[in-house]
Amino acid sequence: MRGFLASSVGVTCAAALALPLTLPATPAKAGPSTLRSEAAAPGSTQSLPLVPLSRKRSLGPAAPTQGLARRNVRPFSLVGVVWDDPGSELNGRVQVRTRAAGTGDWSDWQDVEAHNDEHAADPDTAESASSRVHGSTAPLWVGNSDGVEVRVEAERAARAAWDAGEASEPEDDAGGGPEDRRAAASLPGGLRLELVDPGGGPPSRDARTAGRAGGVPSGLRAKSAHPGVTDGGGAKAGVVPALSREETERTYFSDHTAQRRTTPYIGPRPRIITRHGWGANENLRERGFLYTKTVKAAFVHHTASGNKYSCSQVPSIIRSIYRYHVVSSGWRDIGYNFLVDKCGNIYEGRAGGVAKAVMGAHTRGFNTNSMGIAVIGTFGATKPTDAALKAISRLTAWKLGLYGANPRGKTYLKSAGGNLYRKGKNVRLNVISGHRDGFATECPGRLLYGKLGSARTTAARYQGR
């Protein structure tokens, strides 16, 4: 969704941040089909190298069409395409067809959104230098499937240039010869189809980490941050319970703090399903956490994973996205701080504590002092539900309120570098912004982005403003 691709397939949300990755080892040499599976981890990832589909097969892996013919595979529910160099762009169209397990019915061709360098670590970070990080498309949720077919085509203008270069040797108007045109039409090296099985989501080995609701910001009361949420399993370990506004104030603000001298502007804490609640396998992610000083802004995203899901499937969807971000793309954890589904349920994303200023991997250049909220779905042509919008408002009213931010206000964030703002530039942004406000992308989709003004007003009202 960076601006616009000639294929009409856009770039989507996300940007990774720093920390060295400590991931399970994968085979040094993968055959035509490598099944990646972590010990004691629910779920698995199949990685299938793509091959040239063009009639010009002799042109090798840079040919402008690659893919796989229909084939039987192990069960999976989410697909994506990755490539070797995270700095290379996939300027083209990615489409898949899948076969539903049980019925044998094949789907129509579905587009997979091909995002590029916003799907990478912030510049000059440890993660950006990691050999485990790859370029990757958005993930697409397809449901329980056991067959797949995929094609990846360079954008049409580039393919035309390629064909022109094959037909004749004269230079084009820009002065480039056929080799230049072929290079422009080529696809990134090492394209692979990733098929993710989310598994059944049993409780994590480290229940204390998975069930922890998180601490409180500095200046707030260092008491039990989330009453009723236990560390070691049980029904309440999977949910941070909702609180009234009065309970929220008592929980987070001491009678002796400066904030408490006047009524704090904070919304009631919403119900949040923790990582333990959606079944995160804590063995996949990097063990450490990374925090920033505060939360000055919230960036709203969509997952671009499609809208064909039921809310009962959401834990599986989040486990799939988590695995895709970590195992396939090489991130240290799921990129978003929170996720919201169409029924208005709120889920904890990146580990480290729902009340803390956890640095996420959601908006390249602006991951510091911000949080990322991803609405599960694709909203270029589909409207977000009222329940999802209400959840965004409730979540931002609470979390931004912890750090004294006004949802209807403006703030300044310093860019770490991206395609809109140079590194070091102080950028004035809405406290509740869309991904596209910090990076040239269509995310969070036209119809969700158009609702952010309403979300700001509602969140401020929840805060008592």
pLDDT score, position 172: 36
Q: Answer yes or no: are the C-beta atoms of 284 and 323 closer than 8 Å.
A: yes
pLDDT score, position 116: 60
Q: What ranges do the domains of the chain cover? A: 34-197, 207-462
| Helix/strand number for the chain, H first, E second | 9, 18
Q: Answer yes or no: are the C-beta atoms of 273 and 237 closer than 8 Å.
A: no
**Is the preceding omega at residue 444 within 30 degrees of 0, hence cis?**
yes
pLDDT score, position 256: 42
Structure tokens at 135: 């370029």
Contacts of 290 (CB under 8 A, 6+ apart): 17, 18, 19, 352, 358, 359
CA distance 227 to 236: 10
CA 209 to chain centroid: 21
pLDDT score, position 420: 87
Q: What are phi and psi of 272, to 5 degrees?
A: -130, 125
| Low pLDDT (below 50) residues in the chain | 1-12, 14-41, 56-62, 162, 166-181, 183-184, 203-216, 218-236, 256-261
pLDDT score, position 118: 62
Structure tokens at 170: 């004269």
Instruction: List the beta bridge partners of residue 298.
Output: 371, 432
pLDDT score, position 29: 35
Structure tokens at 207: 């229940």
Q: Beta-carbon neighbour count of residue 89 at 10 Å?
A: 18
Contacts of 342 (CB under 8 A, 6+ apart): 307, 309, 311, 375, 376, 377, 384, 385, 387, 388
pLDDT score, position 259: 46
pLDDT score, position 157: 52
Q: Which of 182, 233, 212, 227 is nearest to 64 (CA)?
A: 182
Radius of gyration of the chain from its Cα atoms, rounded to whole angstroms: 22
- Listing DSSP states for 369-401 in one string gives TEEEEEESS--SSSPPPHHHHHHHHHHHHHHHH
Q: Beta-carbon neighbour count of residue 364 at 10 Å?
A: 29
pLDDT score, position 264: 84
pLDDT score, position 225: 38
Q: Beta-carbon neighbour count of residue 205 at 10 Å?
A: 12
For the 207-462 domain, the top CATH level (class) is: alpha beta
Measured in Å, how far apart are the chain's first and last C-alpha atoms? 35
pLDDT score, position 14: 43
